[in-house]
Amino acid sequence: MVFRVRGITLPDRVEQTFVVDGDQLRVDPASGAELLSDGGWLLPGLVDTHTHPGTEATTDTFDEDRLRRHLRQHRDAGVLLVRVPGAAARIPKWVDDEPDLPRVHSAGRWLATPGRFYENYGRDISENDLAKAAVEESLASSGWCKIIGDWSPQDRPVPLDVLSDAVAAVHAVGGRVAVHGQTAEGCHNAVMAGADSLEHGMHLDPALLGRMAAQGTALIPTFTTFDGIVERARANESDPLRDWLIDGWDGMLATVRAAFDAGVTVLAGTDCLPFGNVTTEIDWLLKAGLPPEAAVGAASWTARAWLGVPGLRDGAPADLVVYDEDPTADPGVLARPKRIILRGQVIR
């Protein structure tokens, strides 16, 4: 099926007509293809850069039917590209060939060294084997691997030299590394090791933001998941772990704004259930003080560029979402997509 879609593109704010020809967008003013959608605002699909489809609880085994269901929930919300920074099992290759599922960039299995993750939930390895395992997971996935860099504030994080060796090994084979960091030392080690992304960043020292910007380490704060965790923690009596969690959370809005001001790439990732709720993370980025265009871009064109996926241009993948109004003027419209086109297929 070949058809045309016309509207104002974001972030360029140019009226454009695209011909959707299979899984490709073309700019062809002379095309006589059917005009499927005329008017509105065009985005290259939303992006969730930190989501874990296929499991719902740490006691779950990875389930392919559950994976399909979760990915369709993303799709129906206009999320047409996801990055899965770690899973209980490698995302199966058939996902890439399913025409009705979002595109997936996967980091393979979580890599957890002793005492630094939920028991038997990721790939448990020794610190000595971390670099080798990181390379294996990156080569077996979409080029990413995910390392659990720290866990409890009472335990030491992955040592800087061990983490640096793993990052260097993955970079040597053309891969990229996401690091879970939520303690001050764990975040420090992730940044100093040259990780490509810092997931969460709770207790991140603002003194590291300049280095993050210079070396291209992105920050994915996942406000959405921590919001519920912290609210439950506030109802409990004071103890060191609870107080550490709340203290870190209370500083995150200011840290994320400071990161954006310092030139760090800040992206939207939800981490948790329900799937397809990246608009909630956009709302949190707005609360942190990001300008609306930056907050929306963090879940769309900015995230795509960071992942190496083109936006709305000639020859790009045929993924786009149409909205009646400008989502940078009213981000609430992101919850009401008018048209969803994925891999050239009309979903809505």
Q: Are residues 257 and 110 in the same domain?
A: yes
Average pLDDT per consecutive 10 residues, the chain (348 residues; last block may be shorter): 95 96 92 94 97 87 91 98 93 93 95 90 94 97 96 95 98 98 98 98 97 98 94 91 95 98 98 94 98 98 97 96 97 96 96
In DSSP notation, 9-42 reads ETTT--EEEEEEESS-EE--TT---EEEEEEEEE
Domain match, 241 and 271 both: yes
Say whether both 22 and 77 belong to one domain: no
CATH number for 13: 2.30.40.10
The verdict on 244 and 336 lying in the same domain is no
Q: Which residues pair with 181 in a beta bridge?
A: 200
The DSSP bridge pattern shows strands 339-342 and 345-346 to be antiparallel
Tokens read off for 162: 């061990």
State which amino acid sits at residue 283: D
Report the number of distinct structural domains present in the chain.
2
What SS3 class is residue 284?
helix
Is residue 234 domain-shared with residue 316, that is, in the same domain?
Answer: no
Nearest residue to 287 via CA among 205, 211, 224, 198: 224
The residues, any chain, with a CB within 8 Å of residue 123's CB and separated by 6 or more, are 109, 110, 111, 112, 133, 137
| End-to-end CA gap in the chain | 15
This model's pTM is above 0.85: yes
pLDDT of residue 43: 97
The one-character DSSP state at 95 is: G
pLDDT of residue 140: 95
157 with 110, same domain: the answer is yes
Q: Are residues 163 and 264 in the same domain?
A: yes
Residue-number span of the structural domain to which 6 is assigned: 2-43+311-346
- The reported pLDDT for the residue numbered 120 is 80
CATH number, position 214: 3.20.20.140
d(CA 124, CA 226) in angstroms, rounded, equals 25
340/192 same-domain check: no
Same domain, 36 and 149: no
